[in-house]
Amino acid sequence: MTAHPRRYVLPYRPEDSRIRLVVGGAACTGDRAGALPPEERALVRIWMESGAPAPPESEPAVDLGRPGGQELLRRIPRGAVDLRLRDLSPAIIGRVDDLPLRLDFGATTACAWLVDAADAGSRLDLFLAGRLGALSRSAVQRLIREGLVTVNGAPGRASTKVRAGDRVAARVPAIRPPGVDAQDLPLVVLLETASFAVLDKAAGMSVHPGRGRLEGTIANAIAHRWGLGGAGGGAHRPGIVHRLDLGTSGVMVVAKSEAAHAKLAAAFKARAVRKEYHALAFGDAAYDEQRIELPLGRDLVHKTRMAVRFDGGRAARTDVTVVERFGAATHFLCRPLTGRTHQIRVHLTSVGHPLLGDAVYAGNRPPPVGVARPMLHSALLAFPDPETGAIVEVAAPLPADFVAVIEALRGR
């Protein structure tokens, strides 16, 4: 640990306050703190100090409202943040937890600036992003698209180059409290008790709001159906215990109380949950069964992808059994022991069998038959009942599109 922690500062409301994110302190808390780069290990705490002055020049400070600071926030692992974060600004919760800001366009505040010589030639979106610290550049671009920004009285464009003396005006929407909007969306409930519900998730439906998506998710649907304000998982993930990828269909469990959420989350962490997935992948497997045990971590080049990483990746294991061969493709039954992001997709790709329809990991490789999404289905989930401890086993049948692809492969 460094002798003198580094401090990262973000303007807070009211203006005379600061949030200080202290890295490299004497204590290291959180299971994921070690995932931070060594020079910034580990995130110890976040707190608000009323009227706190900026750190002394001898303590390097990064303004988290600026691009360099935003990059730091993106590198902080989820779950590494002190729970007191929930008491802070929704804008900051959004930054740290990768949640889009909930903007209220019905309540706006008028702001205006005169461009000085130092900013002349800057893009309009960058000029505004530097002055609206609570909003990301994409949020600023949305303001511009919505017609809420003018330059010398005329509607602006994100790419407009501002000139010295220009008057830039904006109507800035209020930031709504963190959470999800309840939406009456279709949910297929396979099993429901007082403490949990097991769902059959449709492919193409996100589990919870994330970057660029605030509505149409499982979280929105369960907020409407059950409320679940105190069901654990956070304000924008009520009841969510685990996730399935956007294109993945099938069985998943949600909690209906905070106690149930804690017990279910602990079961997943302890690997006391049995999971089975059906996958349709490229290639003719040369084996009947295989154990894929390769560590996974964030791809160093493509930050939205995962990759096999022997330099700091997290242990991951997937047991694979061939169900049926089609020559150009294989139907696998996958049993992941761990639950890493994109685990099955990356593990199968690593042994030469990327999923049919997986544009991220299969690239432009044309599938032997038409597919509209990654061919992965969560078929079975077995977990301890949070009330009784008895094992609950729930299966989700193969969806129609999955069956249709199997039939097409058989008919080639």
Q: Which residues carry out catalysis? A: 245
| Sequence-ordered strand ranges (E) for 24-89 | 43-50, 61-63
Residue 368, preceding bond cis, omega within 30 degrees?
A: no
Pairing state between β 274-282 and 289-293? unpaired
For residue 225, the surrounding DSSP H or E stretch is helix 218-226
Residue with tokens 């002349």: 120
Residue the block writes with tokens 């006391």: 272
**HSE toward the beta carbon, residue 344, CA cutoff 13 A:** 28
Q: Where are the alpha helices (DSSP H) in 295-375?
A: 343-350
Classified as helix, coil or strand, 325 is strand
What's the sign of the alpha-carbon dihedral 72, 76, 78, 80? negative
Identity of the residue numbered 127: F
Q: For residue 233, is it left (φ>0), alpha (ψ between -120 and 50) or beta?
A: left
Q: How far apart are CA 334 and CA 92, in angstroms?
A: 38
- How far apart are alpha carbons 161 and 99 in whole angstroms? 29
Q: Which of 407, 324, 329 has its CA nearest to residue 368?
A: 329
> Do residues 206 and 213 lie in contact, with contact meaning Cβ atoms separated by under 8 Å?
yes
Residue 74: other Cβ atoms inside 10 A: 11
At 39, phi and psi to the nearest 5?
-70, -10
